[in-house]
Chain A
Amino acid sequence: MTSVELLVLLGLALLIAGTLAPVVRGALATAIALQAVSIALLGVGGALVLFGAPAFGAAFRSSLDPGLGIDGLTGFFLATLAIVAAPAAIYARGYLAGVARSRALIALGGLFQIALVGVVMARDPSSFLACWELMTLVPAAAILVRHSDAAVRHAVFVYLAVTHLGGVGVWICVLALAHYGAVGDPAALAAQGAGIQALVVVAAIVGFGTKAGLMPLHSWLPRAHPVAPSHVSALMSGVMIKMALYGLIRVLFEWAGPAPLWAGLVVLGLGLLSALGGVLYALVQHDLKRLLAFHSIENVGIVALGLGASILFASEGDETWAAIAFAAALLHVLNHAVFKALLFLAAGTFERALGSLELDRIGGLLRRMPWTGGAFLVGSMAIAGVPPLNGFASEWLTLQALIHVALGPSLGLGLAGALATAGLAATAALAMFCFAKVVGLVLLGAPRRAEAEAAVEAPPSMRSAPVFLAGCCVVLGAVPGLLVPSLMQLSPHPQSLAAEPGLAIPGTGSLPSPWLLLGLIALSGLLWRLRGARRAAPVPVWACGQQIEPSLNWSSAGFTKPLRLVLEAVLRPRREIEAVRERGQLQSIRYRGDIPHLFDTLLYGPVQRGALAGALVARRLQSGSVRAYAGYLLALLLGLLVAVRIGAIG
């Protein structure tokens, strides 16, 4: 047994121990430590396999005997899981201190990690589907253990309903693959012809796409993520939705591969819709956690853009760029996991201090919580995609892949690539708009309510996790080139690239990220020295010589108003102004404005109404009378007899 295998086995054993430990009263700290250490061990093991240690464990098989194993792709997702889950576990230590039912929450946290590990390590259909369902159900349980008022119960219901309806796609896809003996064997599916392959591909896109939160199948995501406890929402947003991308990659790139051209275009189109739609709706949210949830949709869309581009390159025979686009998608998976987990954890800290996360009523937290606030600032810059942080590195690589689709020889793909490129550029600009707003409303300016004024820094365990993740954002932004060559090896068309800190990709002007970081720090420092010697005169902010009224503070809606006016045709905002008059005199004016989520009103609403109407019709069959049921049985029997007689069955 090699040392890597030993490491992984030890990790698994400790993880199970850490999940069971909270049953013992008073062992909570031990349980959390066990969970953090075990997931870190698994992550190290995964990273070692990713960077070249031999794959081990069972091979993929279509039979139902359970088996676990690790290869490069599993290793990458294990490492991604660990880099988020270990800090989240440490964060939970402070976050759950003194919270009711913390033992249950810690045990569920461990179970959630087991499910996530199981999904990526499963090597047979039965354990994959079991872990998959567990991964869906455990966060629902964690949400309900924490809160159980009517609104939260409804959110959980929508989450379970939508993911299970969409999850049918996963079952169809995996069971069809198992039926044809194609799990881990692309030749077996190819032998079944294009029809079966199309069925598997469509089922995979619908099933995994729902769980990943791809628009228009995303409806559950902005409901479920905000109500979960923060250390769970960090894992949900950072890792759980990535597990769906893991499944999609396994099916589209390995088992049903090479995926047809149309699948590439569908994935690219869904990615573009999710990226633009996600960020647009994020921009008009007024609650921090809901806003972050919409950004998860956006980032899954960016990953899908990379995957779609990779399929298009592969179908055109450009294996180098197919591998680069694939690596871009995976790099963004990791980067998004890091900065989104950071933002959710920091949001949890803010929520703890303030009570609620209404954006217009926070303000000034950078001064009061320098560690958490500073980490939140770094995470915001990373998700906004500004250099030299990690979000820019993976968005740069994805953008380059899309540009090279646009440069390609065929007209149709060229246009698709150009549209996707322009869409991604607009997405990046919108994300920056959104996080300029978030940073401004949450961290900067004067505090906007008493709780924000009185906020103090969180305890060390809650503060260290975001700071660690902020460090990861900087490091991953500085040296993406050490990771990308290994990721390119995971592509179905492995290509080699020299490992160096920056990204020197042929056909681009290269992204020498370490030099960007150093140059920026050195030049800013130099200019600070040049500028800094003078004393600054304290002055009030200029407001035309008037007193600054708190009620005149800029709001989230005010800041985004120009964009809302420009995009009125797309967003369709609703506003109502009601003037209350008494004896001809104006008493007061009531104003209400909101932006309806068009997917809910135009797509899910009619579907829901149709389903309810259908259920009403179906209810008439359930009369409760024994004679009616006997009649149904008779009708069924007769129907079957007729079917056998005419040879339809049997």
Chain B
Amino acid sequence: MDSKHVSSATIPDHQSSTAEKVIAFLDERLGLKEIQAKMLNEPIPGGSRWAYVFGSVLLFIFIMQAVTGTLLMFYYVPTTDHAYDSTQYIIHNVDYGWFLLSYHFWGSSAMVVCLVAHMSQVFLWGAYKKPRELLWLVGLALFGIVITFGFTGYLLPWDQRAFWATLVGVEILDKTPIIGDFIARFLKGGASPGQMTLSRFFVLHVMILPSALMALAGLHLFLFRVAAPAGPFKGTKEEIKAKTDYFFPRQIWKDIVGMAFVFIGICALALWEPVVLLDKATPDPGEYHPEPEWYFLFYFQLLRLKLFAGQFGQFFGAVALPVAFMILLIALPFFDKDPERNIFKRPIALIAWIATMVVIVLFTIAAIINREFLD
């Protein structure tokens, strides 16, 4: 009673504004202040870092993809008769349609790049180790969803590039033992890509995958909050303690700058190279040499090696190698039980990461050079 009396006496004229009243009303029912405290007052061991921005940036890119994708759906018609023409209409007739489509196109590439950067950061920081195994596994599932997003979205414009990239991709999936035939038939919906394929890819792209991504991203965030940030992999206890800070405001500021930079980067790419379509999809490739989206180019070039020729070679390259790589990633936190997180004291992990990156870069460039031989 006394304290109330004192406070009302010291601030006699203070009256809550309408906004304050609304916030107080909502807080009483929803516990907003508690949520805010939990969301923003998360301590980050060793303080905020630019290396931690990739998760938030990925969430931002996904939201932007959802917004631009929804706007594109106002004009896009998912039928083999109209998909190509409606995409051309978006590019050439709809106001700023070219920019929305180009942003959406480059946004998908940015998502893959940021995803690889995020996974690399987690791997190099040793942040997949106990107690963050589940966080790593859900992250891998999200990686699969993002790649599938790119694969399904690629077909939608229904030009030669889309048609043949999808055909090559489905043929690779077809080589998977036991389930390959079913997946290929399910995706194609017939002997060759047609209306059923387009419908199924469209439904996957705009309904199933976004729902799955939202659910898993929510789970990923929840697990992140439960396990807490891992912090830096080096530095003395004194240094880490001195730099430890809350999520708000410094990390949020870094995240916002990261998001702005990625947004600007995607805009720049859209302005530099706006999306253009090739000829409408036909079962005859003509002079077009089928190839997948750029982030699959390294793998496409890898499969051109003599090592992966023949029935066994094709199975080895198209199925066994990627499956083994994924199993390795899934099992990583369970066989790497060494608590050491400093990447410079984990030589095998460092060499493996460098080797993977070198293979990706080398074979991507090789695939680009290979175009000259095909032309």
Co-assembled chains A and B: no
Chain A positions near chain B (C-beta within 8 angstroms): none
